[in-house]
Chains A and B, each alone.
Chain A
Amino acid sequence: KAGVTQTPRYLIKTRGQQVTLSCSPISGHRSVSWYQQTPGQGLQFLFEYFSETQRNKGNFPGRFSGRQFSNSRSEMNVSTLELGDSALYLCASSKGAFSDTQYFGPGTRLTVL
């Protein structure tokens, strides 16, 4: 069974631009969660989607948004990029129940110049 895939793997943007990252969950998984990992803050939860609805969100500004499609694929968008948005963005999928295990993708490395 294929794992969680994320595209692109690496991305370089400049301040003020916007970016869209994509995540394809494991087949049959309906929940997708997004995390940001930086050296200073570690791994932080961004938001979770289940059946095309945002079920949960972390403490991030409104510049960070996401959505989920009917096939469970998810995208996250960051508008008006700041230098501090440089990070590894991780996507994790699970079947959907709260007790289900989350499986992570390889991440997208975003660098903002």
Chain B
Amino acid sequence: DAKTTQPTSMDCAEGRAANLPCNHSTISGNEYVYWYRQIHSQGPQYIIHGLKNNETNEMASLIITEDRKSSTLILPHATLRDTAVYYCIVRVLYRGDTGTASKLTFGTGTRLQVTL
């Protein structure tokens, strides 16, 4: 599986932009980068995903480098409610038991702490 590397933890002041980096140097051409976050003991929440181009939605922006070996999730104006563990995931396609399959492989993520 294409592995991702993220910092263990980061701090961000409320109202400032939070920039969360992720390295995925072994990513293949057809594999998507997904970002989820998990607030303590809740189910992971989908944030954004992308293949090659930068993406933006109401929650965040995703910047993917041209060589696709790394990406950055940007929360433009972090609030206390954005405190969570953020997971960068490469969605892998592979040959499963019944044909082509895909799965999300979660790493340890980045624990983002937003402070006043």
* Chain A residues close to B by CB (< 8 Å): 4, 33, 35, 42-45, 48, 53-58, 88, 90, 92, 98-99, 101-107, 109
Contacts and interface: CB of A to CB of B under 8 A. Distances in A.
Mostly helix, strand, loop or mixed at chain A's interface?
strand
Contacts of A42: 106-108
A56 B106 contact: no
A58 B100 CA distance: 14
Contacts of A98: 93, 100-102
Interface residues of B, number: 26
Nearest to A56: B101
Contacts of B99: 55
Contacts of B115: none
A58 B101 CA distance: 12
A55 B34 CA distance: 21
Contact of B103 (A48, A53, A99, A101): A48
Interface in B52-87: 87
8 contacts: A42-B108, A55-B101, A90-B43, A92-B104, A98-B100, A101-B49, A104-B36, A107-B42
Contacts of B49: 101
A90 B103 contact: no
Contacts of A4: 43
Contacts of A92: 43-44, 104
In the complex, the 3 A-B pairs of residues with the closest C-beta atoms, listed nearest first: A104-B43, A43-B106, A56-B101
Contacts of B100: 98
